[in-house]
Chain A
C-alpha cells in the first residue's frame, strides 16, 4: 500500500477545486475515498483484544 498516494490525490483534488474545476475535484474525491477505504482494509485486519 503506497501511503503517500492518498495525499497525492488529495493535492490534485484541491488544486482542481482552487482552479474552479468542481467536477474534476469531485471525481478525485471519489477516487480518494475509494483508496482510503482500501488502505483502511489493509491496516485494520488484526483481531482486536476486546469482546463485543
Chain B
C-alpha cells in the first residue's frame, strides 16, 4: 500500500474517514434521541455517561475535521472511546447475569449498552486502521481538514449536544439522575 497511495489520496481518505466518523457519532446520538423522545425511554445515568463518551469521541473527530488530523486529536478519540468502554462495559456487567432485568429496548437482539460497547471497540479498531493510512499523508496534512462540510457536521453535533443538555436538565434538574428514571423531574416540579 505504501508504494501506491499518494500523500494527497491518503489525506482525502483520512478526511472522509473523520467526516464519516463524526457523522456516525451524531447518528448514534440521534438513534438514542429516537428511543428517548418517540419511544418514551428515559436514559439512565450510565446511559447518559455513554452519550457523554460518544460526544467526547465526536470532539476528537471534530478537531480532526476542523483543524486537520494530528496524533493529539486521535489521542482524544482513543482515550474517549476507552472511557466509553468503562461505562458501557460496566452496564453490560450489571445485566449479564441470567435473570437480571435488562434496561431499555433491544435492537437486533442486543441492548443499547451492549451496542455502545461494540461501537467504542469499533472506533478503536477504526482508528488503528486509519493510522496505516495516516502514515502516508506527509506533506498533504492540510488536505485532511474538512472545509465547509466539516463545519456543517460540527454544527449537527453542536445541536445534538444542546438537545442532550436541555433534556438532561429536564430529566435530572441540577442533581444526579434517578437510577431508573420514569419521569422528567423538572417537568414534575413545574406541574
On A, residues with C-beta under 8 Å from B are 1-4, 6-8, 10-11, 13-15, 17-18, 20, 22, 25-26, 29, 32-33, 36-37, 39-40, 42-44, 48-50
Cα distance A1–B52 when bound, in Å?
Answer: 14
Establish whether residues A17 and B62, one from each chain, have CB atoms under 8 Å apart when the complex forms.
Answer: yes
Cα distance A29–B83 when bound, in Å?
Answer: 13
Q: Could you say which of B56, B97, B165, B168 contacts A36, with CB atoms under 8 Å apart?
A: B56
A interface secondary structure, majority: helix
Q: How many residues of B contact A (CB 8 A)?
A: 45
On B, residues with C-beta under 8 Å from A are 45-46, 48-49, 52-53, 55-56, 58-60, 62-63, 66-67, 72, 76, 79-80, 83, 86-87, 90, 93-94, 96-97, 100, 151, 154-155, 157-158, 161-162, 164-165, 168-169, 171-172, 174-177
Known: A4-B172, A43-B45. Is A10-B90 also a contact (CB below 8 A)? no
